[in-house]
Amino acid sequence: MTTLFNILITFIWVFILYALWDAAFSETGAIAGYSWDEMRTYILLAYGINALVGWRVASQMMGTIRTGEITRELTRPLNYRSTQLAAAAGMSVVEGLISLVLILVLGTLLFDVQPPDSPVAAALFAVALLAGFVIKALCIFLISLLCFWTLNSVGLMWAQQAVISVLSGTLIPLAMMPGALRVVAEVLPLRGIVSTPLQIYLGKAQGWDLAGLLALQFGWLAVLWFFSDWAWRKAFNAVEIQGG
C-alpha cells in the first residue's frame, strides 16, 4: 500500500506541474530554449527519474539511527554504505522503476512524450541515469548520517527532499533559474540526478558540452563515493546508544 501511495503522489505532482507549465507556454512558444513539446517531456521524465530513489530510503536509515537499531548494522561484516545502496536499489526496482514505467506509458498515450534525440543520446541517457541514481543515493546517505548528531530526523528528511527537488532540476530546468542560483546549481552534484540525463535525452548537450556534463557527473560520483566512506567513519565514532 505504501508503494502504491507513493506512486499516486508522484502522478499528482506530475499533473499539477503539467497544468502550470501548460499555462506558462500558452503565452509564448519557448522559455529559456525549451519548447512546449520539450518541456512536456521534461516534466514527465523528471519526476519519473526523481522517483527512482524515494524518501523511504532516508526514512529507514534515519529511523535505525534514532532508535538505536543501527547497532545491528555495526556488528555485521559488511560495508554500511554499500548495504544502504543495495537497499536503495531494491526499493527502486519495486517502487521507482514502476513509477518511471507508468509515467512513460502515460506520457506516450496522453502527453505525446518525445523519444530520445538520437540512438546515441538514448544510450548515454541510460548511462547518466544510472550514475544519477548512485549520486542521489549517496547524497541521501550523507544527509542521513547527520542523524548521529541530531535528536530528530524529520526536518532533515524534508529539507533534503526540497533541496534535491530544486537543485537537481526536477521542479524547473536549471536554464530557467535566476543567475546566481543557476551558476551554483550547474556545478553541484545534484544536477547529475535529473538535469544531466534529461539534457542528454533531449539533445540539449552536444560535443564538448556533452563530454563536460558526463565528466562533471562522474567526477562528483567519485568524490561522493570516497567522501561517504570517510563520513561514515566519523559518524561511527559519534554513536551513542542509551538504554537496553
Task: Give the pLDDT confidence of 22-79 residue by residue, as tens digits.
Answer: 898 988 888 888 988 889 889 888 887 887 776 666 677 777 777 777 777 777 788 8
The whole-number pLDDT of residue 217 equals 95
- Give me the residue spans of the domains in the chain: 2-19+34-237
The whole-number pLDDT of residue 85 equals 86
Centroid of chain to Cα 156: 16
pLDDT over 60 at 243, yes or no: no
Centroid of chain to Cα 86: 16
| Chain mean pLDDT for the chain | 83
Cell 507508468 belongs to residue: 102
The whole-number pLDDT of residue 66 equals 75
Quick one: angle between helices 36-50 and 97-106, nearest 10? 160
One-character DSSP codes across 37-93: HHHHHHHHHHHHHHTTS-THHHHHHHHHHHHTTHHHHHTSSS-HHHHHHHHHHHHII
Lowest mean pLDDT among 17-21, 174-178, 238-242: 238-242
pLDDT digits (tens, 9 = 90+) for 124-167: 999 999 999 899 989 988 888 888 787 677 788 888 888 988 99
pLDDT over 60 at 86, yes or no: yes
- Residue 49 contacts residue 129 (beta carbons within 8 Å): yes
User: What average pLDDT does the segment 215-240 reach?
Assistant: 87
- Max mean pLDDT among 7-16, 98-107, 222-231 falls in 222-231
d(CA 45, CA 104): 7
Centroid of chain to Cα 204: 20
